[in-house]
Structure 1
Amino acid sequence: MMTFDEQVHADVQRTLEEDVGTGDLTAALIPADRRAVAAIICRESAVICGRPWVDEVLRQIAPNARPRWFLDDGDRCEPGQKVVEIEGVARELLTAERTCLNWLQTLSAVATKTAHYVEAVEGTAARILDTRKTIPGLRAAEKYAVRCGGGMNHRMGLFDAILIKENHIAAMGGLAAAFNAALKVESLVSFIQVEVETLRQLEEALNAGVKMVLLDNMSLEEIKACVELAKGRCSLEISGGVTYENLRTYAETGVDRISVGALIKDVDAVDFSLRFQEKPVEQQRN
């Protein structure tokens, strides 16, 4: 597995290859010694996310550029607020522009939506989690954005935790058999979770000693019954049918976790723009 820094480097390298290719033909028209100061401005209220990727774009395209960040990942910004100012070679800043903005607009969108969901359950015991419903190749970045928005990550992939779903149960010949098989490798994974679809299945899971249960696509009344049955014997997570409009109602049932695929797969890009400035601003965030 790659480290975080290695993942960011690979992400940026891949996105620059698709955008820059063999070279930026338009930026090459600008004299090589022309310097500039550019500011990235957020045009709407948002939670900022993407700084490591922007910094990496500059390292790869404009290694001598000097970014001055006024906001960090996880900070909130207002419309028209300057996020970062960059001094460097003009043609390099122009080449880096779109890739920097793409990372910021995408990851800030995830962070902002996550923050809205987290705020909606404030005061309850429920925590907001993401899912594996991510854009292929961007999972680590998008899950980082969820954390910046105040959410929690579910498993990163199929390799770090066990989630026993209905088809696993069917293939193994029963819930208890599948769970007992998972216990044999418990020390190698971050958690073992079992998905149930009925109150009867929850009772079976509790009797088997399951400590993490996912309630799949249950009605509000069914969830309340499951909370009453579990009574702290296991953590309960709900998934499926959750919207921003009904989120608070589900959270008030007493469940511990709510996983929401929409945090990542149903977002609107945050509006950023890059503009050349006359001179750099001296104040900066350390």
Structure 2
Amino acid sequence: MDMIVRNLTLRLGGLTVLSEIDTAFRPGRVTAILGPNGAGKSSLLKTLAGLVPPDAGTITLGDRPLADWPAQARARAIGYLPQSGAVHWNLRARDLVALGRLPDRRRFAGPSPADEAAITAALAATETLVLADRRVGDLSGGERARVLLARVLAGDPRWLLADEPLASLDPAHQIDLLERLRGMAVEGRGVAVVLHDIAQAARVADDVLLLRDGRLVAAGQAAAVLTPDTIAAVFDVTVACLPGACIMVPIGRIPSPVPPTV
């Protein structure tokens, strides 16, 4: 079930935050969305999730426009993990994860055995089973981030849209999450993820979108897009290779020599 974007334009508060975006997201692939602050990355993800209607253009999911999908069917197909980790009710972690099953349940129906199994599996996948009975208000930022991911995974969506999911995680859990995203793609699901770290994007992504000032600068396979020229055009940095490492520095600045490793 492809997600096709055609001539997408979005205006917020009188400003054009996305302009004439044409691209495609494919199941079975991880697509990383990169760009400097204010490039429109989060706005694009919210629009793909159906949370913000575009001012022009279309998003097609499968064989019909996203706008024509009933809300419950869209919620079953697309799991959205926002950048903010805010939780407005001090629920137990397991009860928060259970909210991810609501699109699959009849109104006022309690959780079924299948729901309970999916909740437990999502907690296990994010290594949060030990947190299941704790209140989310008592969790650290990283623990809460993993529980929120479990809520999305519990719904077993065909598409996962994740906005900077690594922000609150320690390095070990960052690596684990990247592997989880990779695994979802291998299972045939579609994954679109906003990242800030170019190296992490190169590690996990099949495809990369580069945005700047609301416009699509480059899109395609990661190795073809993440070149020194495109990185310079989008981020105003140059890739400089010194003894022992390659680093990125602002254009025009000469990097200091790196002392050799003993």
TM-score of the superposition, structure 1-length normalised? Answer: 0.27
Which structure has the bigger radius of gyration?
1
Q: Which has the higher strand share?
A: 2
